Amino acid sequence: MLKAFLDIFRVKDLKDRILFTVAMVAIYRIGSFIPCPFISVDKMQESFSKAGQGAGFFGVADMFTGGAFSKMTVMALGLMPYISASIILQLMMVVIPRLEKIAREGEAGRKKINQMTRIGTVVLAAVQGFGVALWILGQNRSEGNLILPMMADHPVLFTLITMITVTTGTTFLMWLGEKITEKGIGNGVSLVITMGIVAHYPTYVHQSIVAADLEAFRPIWFPIVAALCVFATVVIVLVQEGSRKIPIQHAKQVAGRRLAASQTNYLPLKINTAGVMPVIFASAILTLPGTIFGWIGAKGNQGIIAEWFSMQSRFNLYNAFNLTHEGAFLLLKAVNLHTVLFVLLLIFFCFFYTAIVFKPQDVADNLRRVGAFVPGYRPGKPTSDYIDKVMTRITMVGAVFLCVIALLPQFLMVSFELPFSLADFAGGTGLIIVVAVVLDTMKQIESRMLMRHYDGFRSRRQASGGRRWAAKERKA
């Protein structure tokens, strides 16, 4: 393992890419500590903590930005507008055939889609920046003008400055992610999001220890959560790497006077083709209603609608049946409208995103074009229907897996009243993203190393062949 790690730095191109990625991530983390103008960071964090860490849109935004949102820094929005723009654009591809046609135009189409995503990111960042500024002004009034001691009497100017600041921060982060993809080790946007999530882990550990000292929960939960974290990580790796192999038979071919025997290969279909995108989509959409209705509700009361959408809603199966038992019955506390909608959205986006990135008809056409077929199925539509049926079954397995892992922290928080800082280690969106991105990054590094070794081996063979040819010429 150590030798493999040292081999990375022996390949100059790969070493330069890794160092470039580390430098870009360091710039991102430095920017996460630069506060927006005129905001008292201490008072802002104090006000944020009152809203409840990990609850609603603010908790999700703070997790994805590595704590930049709670500090209200220049990168407070992180890449959330970029994620939202990607969601909207992919939904529009299904509705607008013109966009789908552009996406099929190869490299030129990909550039056009990326440009549309960039424009949408800037627009959404400005809109979200406006909403954040209004929220800060409301918090400032409730805190007695302590958050904005210099701008309490200039709300319009503060709103404009905040919009420009956070929009610039998001645009810079988007550019940073693209540069990591181009000149680094790849997956720039995913890597930036992952670094933001990982940056929160030391804080979570400290907060969990403090909560245990205050007897907020029993210390026995530490080994239980650690075991759940290991279990969730192993399951994520197995499902992310797992695939269903469909046998592919190649027709016999005539090579000169010989009849080449047919060969059998396999078409791998990934269990979780959609990756982590369904979890991100479902989380981003589901946190908005509760937050919006919470703003509309009266002070100190989010309102009945916000209560229904709340993760810790009192409208759950445990209270519906007037249960007083503990043990396994406590799990029913987490079965509420929030949980049901999250499961439905996650399953929907699993199938939706899989349908976008994987098209059985195209696979069947490609197999027929190269003279391959699935044994027992005619080329064309029968093959396409079979692949679609298999893909539907394994996608459902992947969706169930995502639901279980993503909901583990919610059950620990709501049913057993563990703090978010500890429950988040047991699974959830953050752990799924971190493990998936780390796996993908390791694959990219490995593929670059193999490519480099292959090039070196090929160059040595060519050089030795040239020397042998020169020796024969001299003898002649």
Tell me the three-class secondary structure of the chain, residue by residue: CHHHHHHHCCCHHHHHHHHHHHHHHHHHHHHCCCECCCCCHHHHHHHHHHCCCCCHHHHHHHHHCCCHHHHCECCCCCCHHHHHHHHHHHHHHHHCHHHHHHHCCHHHHHHHHHHHHHHHHHHHHHHHHHHHHHHHHHHHHHCCCCCCCCCCCCHHHHHHHHHHHHHHHHHHHHHHHHHHHHHCCCCHHHHHHHHHHHCCHHHHHHHHHHHHHCCCCCCCHHHHHHHHHHHHHHHHHHHHHCEEEEEEEECCEEECCEEECCCEEEEEEECCCCCCHHHHHHHHHHHHHHHHHHHHCCCCCCCHHHHHHCCCCCCEHHHHCCCCCCHHHHHHHHCEHHHHHHHHHHHHHHHHHHHHHCCHHHHHHHHHHCCEECCCCCCCHHHHHHHHHHHHHHHHHHHHHHHHHHHHHHHHHHHHCCCHHHHHHHCHHHHHHHHHHHHHHHHHHHHHHHHHHHHHHHHHHHHHHHHHHHHHHHHC
User: Which carries the bigger pLDDT value, residue 341 or residue 297?
Assistant: 341
Confidence (pLDDT) at 293: 58
Tell me which CATH homologous superfamily contains domain 12-199: SecY subunit domain (1.10.3370.10)
Summarised one tens digit per residue, pLDDT across range 117-130 is: 999 999 999 998 99
Rg for the chain (alpha carbons), in Å? 27
Q: How confident is the model at residue 299 (pLDDT cuts 50, 70, 90)?
A: very low
User: In this structure, what token pair is assigned to residue 468?
Assistant: 């042998």
User: In this structure, what token pair is assigned to residue 155?
Assistant: 């709300």
If one counts every other C-beta atom within 10 angstroms of the C-beta of residue 414, the result is: 26
Contact 39, 205 (CB under 8 A): no
Written as one letter, the residue type at 102 is I
Confidence (pLDDT) at 262: 57
Q: What is the mean pLDDT of the chain?
A: 82
Give CA–CA dist 187/209, Å, rounded: 34
pLDDT > 90? residue 23: yes
pLDDT > 60? residue 148: yes
Confidence (pLDDT) at 279: 81
Confidence (pLDDT) at 51: 56
Contact 25, 195 (CB under 8 A): yes
pLDDT > 50? residue 441: yes
User: Which carries the bigger pLDDT value, residue 123 or residue 421?
Assistant: 123
User: Which carries the bigger pLDDT value, residue 304 or residue 79?
Assistant: 79
Give CA–CA dist 18/186, Å, rounded: 10
Q: Please tell me the least confidently modeled range out of 30-39, 46-55, 271-280, 461-470.
A: 461-470
Mean pLDDT of 45-67: 68
* Closest of 192, 239, 204 to residue 403, by C-alpha: 239
Confidence (pLDDT) at 259: 53
Q: How confident is the model at residue 255 (pLDDT cuts 50, 70, 90)?
A: low
Confidence (pLDDT) at 454: 45
* Closest of 6, 14, 1, 17 to residue 456, by C-alpha: 14
Confidence (pLDDT) at 27: 93
User: In this structure, what token pair is assigned to residue 44?
Assistant: 């802002």
Global confidence as pTM: 0.81
Mean pLDDT of 1-13: 71
| Distances 102 to 85, 111, 112, 121, 301 between C-alpha atoms, Å | 17, 10, 7, 19, 47
Pick the most confident of 98-107, 144-153, 180-189: 180-189
* Closest of 302, 267, 281 to residue 91, by C-alpha: 281
User: Which carries the bigger pLDDT value, residue 192 or residue 458?
Assistant: 192
pLDDT > 90? residue 14: no
User: Which carries the bigger pLDDT value, residue 285 or residue 418?
Assistant: 418
Give CA–CA dist 418/99, Å, rounded: 45
User: Which carries the bigger pLDDT value, residue 260 or residue 244?
Assistant: 244
Give CA–CA dist 192/173, Å, rounded: 8
| Contacting residues for 442 by C-beta, under 8 A, at least 6 apart | none
Domains 12-199 and 219-468 share a fold: yes
Mean pLDDT of 166-187: 91
Q: How confident is the model at residue 458 (pLDDT cuts 50, 70, 90)?
A: very low
Mean pLDDT of 52-56: 51
Contact 444, 186 (CB under 8 A): yes
Q: Please tell me the least confidently modeled range out of 190-199, 244-253, 332-341, 427-436.
A: 244-253
Confidence (pLDDT) at 463: 45
**CATH assignment of 219-468, among 1.10.238.10, 3.40.228.10, 1.10.3370.10, 3.40.50.300:** 1.10.3370.10
CA 341 to chain CA centroid, nearest Å: 19
Where are the chain's structural domains? Answer: 12-199, 219-468
pLDDT > 70? residue 291: no
If one counts every other C-beta atom within 10 angstroms of the C-beta of residue 325, the result is: 10
Q: How confident is the model at residue 327 (pLDDT cuts 50, 70, 90)?
A: confident
Contact 163, 182 (CB under 8 A): no
Confidence (pLDDT) at 352: 86
Give CA–CA dist 193/423, Å, rounded: 20
Q: How confident is the model at residue 421 (pLDDT cuts 50, 70, 90)?
A: confident
Confidence (pLDDT) at 298: 43
Q: Please tell me the least confidently modeled range out of 119-123, 212-216, 412-416, 458-462.
A: 458-462
Contact 53, 59 (CB under 8 A): yes
Residue percentage of the chain with pLDDT more than 70: 84
Mean pLDDT of 292-313: 62
